[in-house]
Amino acid sequence: MHKQRPKHLALHLIKLPLAGYVSILHRVSGMLLFLALPLLLWALQASLRSIETHSRLMEILQQPLSRLVWLGLLWAFLHHFCAGIRYLAIDLHLTSSLAKARSSSKWVLGISLLLTVLIGAKLW
Amino acid sequence: MVNRVVTGAHYGLRDWLAQRITAVVMALFTLFVAVYLLLQPAVDYDVWAGLFSNNVMRSFALLFLLSLFYHAWIGVRDIVMDYVKPASVRLLVHVAVILALVLYVIWSVQILWGM
């Protein structure tokens, strides 16, 4: 039997399980955080250097576009954090069944979004 | 008996472990800072800068950042290995990532111990 090679998968037709979304979002959020490292280090520097640079940073953080960027980074951090804790729990065999894998995926997606909203509301 | 020939660069287990150890270090630092800030009545420049004014906290923060950079290297390297097929481009990206992370280490020390 002749098989068609190479086989191209129709990515938009593939239905990922919830844990699959957590997994790919772990990659996406990690990459985003890596690319944002210069911005994050610059912000840390401005926040610590002096009261003037600190207040200037706070002003910049109030601008609408910058709020959007920081909200996105906040979500990336929280998702990466929660999904990472989930992977550590899996390594410790705490979530070994399929049902637990599904429910913990829901928790990761839910808690990271909820915390993003809560911290975002507290900051602004 | 099957003679299994193990191939590869033999850094799999070491990096798997390093990724988890650095993750735990970062999680502990994050939780410490989060709890500390939550316990303050108000967070202003004095509270924030005061937290980073002693050498123990600066060292903990540097440990956090070094863990972050090593964690980022393993993660980004794996992503690049998965999606960037031409060896020359892959090598270039790897070198660029390493150089950036080394610069971030120097920058981190400058941030934490005054410019």
A53-79 per-position pLDDT tens digit? 999 999 999 999 999 999 999 999 999
Q: What percentage of residues in chain A have a pLDDT greater than 90?
A: 73
CA atoms within 13 A on the CB side of A38: 5
Q: How far is A25 from chain B (nearest CA, A)?
A: 13
Q: Is-contact B46 B94, C-beta < 8 A?
A: no
Contact between A32 and A77 under an 8 Å Cβ cutoff? The reply is no
Q: Do B79 and A27 touch (CB under 8 A)?
A: yes
Find the radius of gyration of the CA atoms of chain B.
19
Give residue A53's region: left, alpha or beta (phi > 0; psi -120 to 50).
Answer: alpha
Asked whether residue B7 is domain-assigned, the answer is no
> Who among B20, B76, B111 is closest to A44 (CB)?
B111
Angle of helix B87-112 relative to helix B55-83, nearest 10 degrees, comes to 170
- Position A122 scores a pLDDT of 86
Cβ atoms B108, B65 nearer than 8 A: yes
Closest CB from B24, B75, B111 relative to A48:
B111
Instruction: Specify if B6 maps to a domain.
Output: no
SS3 B97: helix
A34 chain-B contacts, CB cut-off 8 A: 72, 75-76
Per-chain mean pLDDT for chain A: 91
For residue A77, give the chain B residue with the closest CA. Answer: B30
pLDDT of residue A96: 78
Q: Which domain holds residue B24?
A: 13-113
In the predicted model, is pLDDT for residue A89 greater than 70? yes
pLDDT of res. B115: 60
Residue B20: the pLDDT is 97
Kindly report the pTM of this predicted structure.
0.89
Dihedral of CA B71/B115/B37/B59: which sign? positive
Number of domains in chain B: 1
How many helices, marked H, and strands, marked E, lie in chain A?
A: 5, 0
Indicate yes or no: CB of A30 within 8 angstroms of CB of B75.
yes
Q: Closest by alpha carbon to A36, among A28, A24, A46? A: A28
CATH code for position B42: 1.20.1300.10
Q: What is the pLDDT along chain B (115 residues), one digit of tens a residue?
A: 677 777 777 788 899 999 999 999 999 999 999 999 999 998 999 999 999 999 999 999 999 999 999 999 999 999 999 999 999 999 999 999 999 999 999 999 999 998 6
CA distance B27 to chain A (A): 8
Q: Which residue has the higher pLDDT, A123 or A106?
A: A106
pLDDT at site B107:
98
In terms of CATH architecture, what is A26-123?
Up-down Bundle (1.20)
B68 in a domain, yes or no?
A: yes
